[in-house]
Amino acid sequence: MPQIDWQPIVIKDNEGGTQPGTLHVTVYSPRERIVRAAKAWAVCWVLALLALPIIGLHWILVPALTFAGVLLGYQRYRTASSSNKVEGRCPVCHGTIEITLESAEHPPLWKYCPACNAPFSIETSTQEMAAI
């Protein structure tokens, strides 16, 4: 089962105001990464097999899905973690922020406050960088 982890971040506005925040991340073990890759690969290849009887389109669908299976499998295997959401306070209006992220989004990011629509950046915490 994937492990849900969190990382400290800093939310900065354009005027220099900062607020601490939390980035929630799903971390995959090597075994989970292999299983995810195998599932993506298998789904594409099953779709390619199902496309065989479609007259005319099988000349395009079968090679495309075969190639897509390899690419998607490799991409899923390479993904060690995926971002879920950011929680914190807006440095401008000091309202609570909870922003859902795409799985491929990682700091540094630019987002907008859902309450006041002010732009801010999301960066990794300086304490985390000092520990490395």
Q: pLDDT tens across 2-18, in order?
A: 788 888 999 998 888 88
- Parse the chain into domains and list their residue ranges: 3-28+81-131, 30-78
**Amino acid symbol at 127:** Q
Distance CA 67, CA 64 (A): 5
How many Cβ atoms from other residues are within 10 Å of residue 84's Cβ?
Answer: 18
Full-model pTM: 0.72
| pLDDT score recorded for residue 126 | 56
Distance CA 92, CA 85 (A): 20
Q: Which residues contact 75 (CB under 8 A, 6 or more apart)?
A: 40
Report whether pLDDT(93) > 70.
Answer: yes
What percentage of the chain reaches a pLDDT higher than 70?
A: 95
Residue 119 preceded by cis peptide, ω within 30: no
Q: For 35-49, 71-85, 112-126, which range has the lowest pLDDT when averaged over its residues?
A: 112-126
